[in-house]
Structure 1
């Protein structure tokens, strides 16, 4: 009889928990489902600073109104004639995050920072003027596969506009 009660009680509790639609990470660490842990409104409104990998932070990292980080990954190819570059990054997949190449198109107003970790220095260009020239010069010196290049793409998610690209050599 005890086994029958247990067999009936477990599916009932499981269906009750699954019907709430809440993930386990939303609840406190005490193990009881009392109240979801949520950020306060003040924390959600604060601008965030995104640090680059490594000991130093290059640039301010402050995001403007309506801007957010699109992707963070490795630079795999560039095409200056079309103003496009390809970043290998993690994207949502059917069974969880997966690695994929994502193409980004730049406009005349997009800025590009090229940073060197060994020198702890950055140069910023507009892509329509000198940005692609500088990147092509660097590619002629060493191929894209020769050195590790990390990329941060910042843009406006509502308009899919790329606002800023930061490329860090020598990660």
Structure 2
């Protein structure tokens, strides 16, 4: 599981035949792993190139009247993740099947409330991404300063 924000442009690039382009992700799709230890849902907000969901993934295309960002937030709530864990099959490698995922009951408030929750979650995610970036910059700065101190120590010797 990544500790930083998902960056679509870091994914591997593949040559895709024209006939598979309709199966690529659309803006607003929710992607959730179908196997593994973690089932974090990600909102696809678009990319410069088509993104083909290769691998063991479930793709959810929200119906009209359901805010995609709200749905991703809802799927990632601890209480929903607990419900998802009950739906998993398998003993050593857990699996979340599309059929099991379709049985998950959702709480769907009014669209305006969905937008409020989605906006708040989006702001929170941006704050987390900024903190992550600040931590990276702090680590780089510390590495640079310690390298300089070590070089000065070698010159003093």
If the length of structure 2 is used for normalisation, what is the TM-score?
A: 0.23
Larger helix share, 1 or 2: 2
If the length of structure 1 is used for normalisation, what is the TM-score?
A: 0.22
Larger Rg: 1
Larger strand share, 1 or 2: 1
